[in-house]
């Protein structure tokens, strides 16, 4: 099942209107307020609402849904414009390893045992085509292609072996980062704040069953295609996650419950083989240091364009992220 949030005609309605989208991403139908006016409300009452949403989805795919319409991606907001929480991990150890080796360091064994995770900004999440506001080029603007999951209410202390039934949706997002500010904030050992502005999301959130065999063991076995200024920048696959989404979720809820509609991110999708390319500028820079002694790739500049997409059976799974960097 595929879900989207469409812009409301009421400008004060920040959470938009919930819509079910056909498998081919072409048509949609609005969900009635009696079922769930927003995606967040749907997730908060998932056991009651999900069967009705699935019936709408099936009728859309049979081309029998009443009041269906052609989906205009420009009407789509982030699937969850305001999420209760945002917990971003770093589950791809090839990304961590490159960073360490580029600094002349070794990845500690502890990195294989405990996920890295920070709590990011969860409100005002951006649409798929929102401009990347660089604010100041000296901040070192970067993109990061990531997968994420959206759970239902997860009780505190839920072990990874019991997380699977709580995962409702899967998303694709661009975790925008100011790398030069990271260098300052990381020294404080108090987490990221100014270096992590609002992330942008592909327009569609999908249920795990929509991925078929590409959802296995809490991992997403899809290629994430990243294009930078119309050139292929990378096509890493999500299968190489060291920590699964089950483990990331258990880590996030160790001492607190998680509210339905929170977002848990994978960290930058990364593969050990450098030939698969990269999903962020900084990892390419790490590889340039390892290969030639210095980084030559620049941070984002005004006018740069970033596209991210995942395809299965010839179709875009989440819709496309397509953003231009601006000042």
pLDDT in tens, 225-260: 999 999 999 999 999 999 999 999 999 999 999 999
Question: What is the pLDDT averaged over residues 302-324?
Answer: 97
What is the per-residue burial (b if ≥16 Cβ within 10 Å, else e) of 44-76?
bebeebbebbeebbebbbeeebeebeebebebb
Instruction: Look at residue 107 in the predicted model and tell me its pLDDT.
Output: 85
| Residue 14 Cα distances to 74, 95, 173, 232, angstroms | 16, 35, 19, 34
The DSSP output letter for 190 is S
User: What CA–CA distance (Å, rounded) separates 140 from 299?
Assistant: 5
Question: What is the pLDDT averaged over residues 257-271?
Answer: 98
Instruction: Look at residue 171 in the predicted model and tell me its pLDDT.
Output: 99
Instruction: Look at residue 108 in the predicted model and tell me its pLDDT.
Output: 85
Q: Which two tokens stand for residue 67?
A: 């009041």
Residue 111: pLDDT above 90? Answer: no
What are the helix (H) ranges across 192-267?
245-252
What is the DSSP annotation of 184-222? HHHHHTS--STT----EE-S-EE-GGGGGGGEETTEE--
What are the helix (H) ranges across 46-126?
46-61, 93-102
Give the pLDDT band of residue 109 (cuts 50, 70, 90).
Answer: confident
Helix, strand or coil for residue 145? strand
Residue 135: pLDDT above 90? Answer: yes
Give the pLDDT band of residue 116 (cuts 50, 70, 90).
Answer: very high
HSE toward the beta carbon, residue 270, CA cutoff 13 A: 25
Question: What is the pLDDT averaged over residues 284-302?
Answer: 97
| Percentage above 70 pLDDT, the chain | 100
The DSSP output letter for 78 is -
Q: Are residues 280 and 145 in contact, defined by beta-carbon separation less than 8 angstroms?
A: yes
Give the pLDDT band of residue 106 (cuts 50, 70, 90).
Answer: confident
Computed over every residue of the chain, the mean pLDDT equals 97
| Residue 257 Cα distances to 17, 108, 122, 280, angstroms | 27, 29, 16, 31
Write the CB contacts of 110 (distance below 8 Å, at least 6 apart in sequence): none
In this predicted model, what pLDDT tens digit does every residue of 26-63 receive, in sequence order? 999 999 999 999 999 999 999 999 999 999 999 999 99
Residue 314: φ, ψ to 5°: 80, 0
User: What CA–CA distance (Å, rounded) separates 257 from 161?
Assistant: 16
Instruction: Look at residue 250 in the predicted model and tell me its pLDDT.
Output: 98
Give the pLDDT band of residue 110 (cuts 50, 70, 90).
Answer: confident
Closest by Cα among 198, 167, 245, 177 to 81: 198
Instruction: Look at residue 79 in the predicted model and tell me its pLDDT.
Output: 98
The DSSP output letter for 108 is -
Residue 222: pLDDT above 90? Answer: yes
In this predicted model, what pLDDT tens digit does every residue of 142-195 receive, in sequence order? 999 999 999 999 999 999 999 999 999 999 999 999 999 999 999 998 989 999
Q: Is the dihedral of CA 61, 54, 314, 126 positive or negative?
A: positive
Global confidence as pTM: 0.97
Of 87-91, 117-121, 146-150, 185-189, the least confident: 185-189
């Amino acid at each position: 099942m595929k879900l989207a949030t469409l812009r409301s005609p009421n400008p004060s309605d920040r959470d938009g209107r919930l819509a079910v989208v056909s498998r081919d991403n072409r048509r949609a139908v609005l969900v009635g307020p009696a079922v769930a006016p927003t995606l967040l409300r749907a997730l908060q009452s998932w056991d009651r609402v999900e069967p009705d949403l699935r019936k709408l989805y099936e009728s859309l795919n049979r081309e029998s849904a009443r009041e269906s319409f052609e989906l205009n991606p420009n009407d789509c907001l982030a699937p969850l414009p305001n999420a209760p929480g945002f917990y971003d991990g770093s589950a791809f150890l090839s990304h961590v390893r490159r960073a360490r080796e580029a600094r002349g360091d070794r990845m500690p064994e502890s990195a294989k045992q405990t996920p890295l995770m920070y709590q990011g900004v969860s409100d005002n999440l951006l649409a798929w085509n929102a401009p990347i506001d660089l604010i100041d080029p000296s901040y070192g603007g970067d993109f990061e292609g990531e997968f994420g999951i959206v759970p239902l209410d997860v009780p505190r202390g839920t072990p990874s072996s019991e997380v699977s039934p709580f995962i409702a949706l899967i998303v694709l997002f661009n975790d925008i980062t100011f790398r030069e500010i990271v260098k300052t904030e990381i020294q404080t050992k108090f987490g990221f704040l100014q270096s992590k502005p609002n992330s942008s999301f592909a327009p569609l959130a999908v249920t795990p069953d929509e991925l078929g065999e590409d959802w296995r063991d809490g991992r997403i076995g899809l290629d994430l295609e990243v294009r930078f200024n119309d050139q292929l920048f990378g096509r890493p696959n999500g299968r190489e996650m060291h920590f699964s989404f089950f483990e990331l979720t258990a880590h996030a809820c160790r001492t607190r419950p998680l509210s339905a509609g929170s977002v848990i991110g994978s960290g930058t999708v990364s593969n050990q083989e450098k030939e698969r390319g990269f999903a962020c500028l900084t990892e390419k820079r790490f590889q340039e240091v390892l290969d030639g002694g210095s980084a030559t790739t620049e941070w984002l500049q005004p006018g740069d364009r970033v596209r991210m997409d995942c395809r299965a059976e010839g179709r875009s799974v989440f819709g496309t992220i397509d953003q231009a960097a601006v000042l």
